[in-house]
Structure 1
């Protein structure tokens, strides 16, 4: 089994050759406006538009914790909007991250990445605004992706203070 590659850089500009799948965690409330999603929106309008439509039409689709929406943003580049956090704020019920939802979403990402013969690229998902711990998320990535031989690169922004580059 290979290891996760850690690099300094921008996850919206993934390194390497071949098909790439950028994964990130979204909330289950339809909010898009802080954290990594802002970097995505600066580069491509499609992931935000698709996520907002997915949420708006949720009565007739699979929108919810653990679901994943795939948005093609280039000939060899996809974005995976993974629903892995409940709401957007830390409060009486703890942090927004939902590890079981991230795990289910990563299982879907593994299937899609294998089908596309794609590498997977991400910030430290679930560990910024969602409040998660990388020591919990990293083994999920290893189990769902690395065991299947899928290359994974995690990006940390230069000069960042937070684990997700924020």
Structure 2
């Protein structure tokens, strides 16, 4: 069975052949402007525009926790906007990360990635501004993607966390 590959680098510049999907976690409030999304927006305007349109039309679509939106940004590169964060701030209800929503979105992502015959590239999703712990997210990635034979690369900027 395969496993997650960890590398130091930029997840918006995936080092792989073939079709690639860059996966990241978004919030359920329509906010886009901090964290990994800034790196995405520096490379391509389409994921942010698609996310904002998806949020604006949420009364008539599937926008919400656990939802997935795939946006093609290059002939062989897609960005997966996954709604896995409730709100944007840590408060009385804890951190914004929602592990169940990430799990659901990863399951949907797995289905689409298999259809595309793609590999998945991501930062440590849900562990930045969302406040999650990789020890909780990593098993979800393994279950929903790696166990299905999907190649997954996780990119760390700078020092690799322990």
1:103-143 Cα deviation digits (max 9, x unpaired): 00000110011000000000000000000000000000000
- Report runs of 4+ in structure 1 exceeding 3 Å deviation: none
TM-score by length of 1: 0.95
In the alignment, which residue of structure 1 is the partner of 2:149?
149
| 2:136 maps to 1:136 | yes
Deviations 1:49-77 (A, max 9, x none): 00000000100100000000000000000
Where 1:142 maps in the other structure, the secondary structure is helix
Structure 2 stretches lacking a partner, 5+ long = none
What's 2:48 paired with?
A: 48
Q: Does 1:27 align with 2:23?
A: no
* Alpha-carbon distance between aligned partners in 2 of 1:154 and 1:19, rounded to the nearest angstrom: 16
Structure 1 gap segments, 5+ residues each: none
Q: Residue 72 in 1 paired to residue 72 in 2?
A: yes
- In structure 1, C-alpha distance between the alignment counterparts of 2:153 and 2:42, rounded to whole Å: 21
Corresponding residue of 1:127: 127
Secondary structure of 2:138's match? helix
Matched length: 161
| Aligned residue number for residue 5 of structure 2 | 5
Task: State the partner residue of 1:99.
Answer: 99
C-alpha distance after superposition, 1:81-124 (max 9, x if no partner): 00000000000000000000000000011001100000000000
Distance in 1, Cα, partners of 2:76 & 2:55: 26
SS at match of 1:130: coil
Secondary structure of the 1:23 match is strand
**Structure 2 CA distance, aligned partners of 1:89 and 1:11?**
24
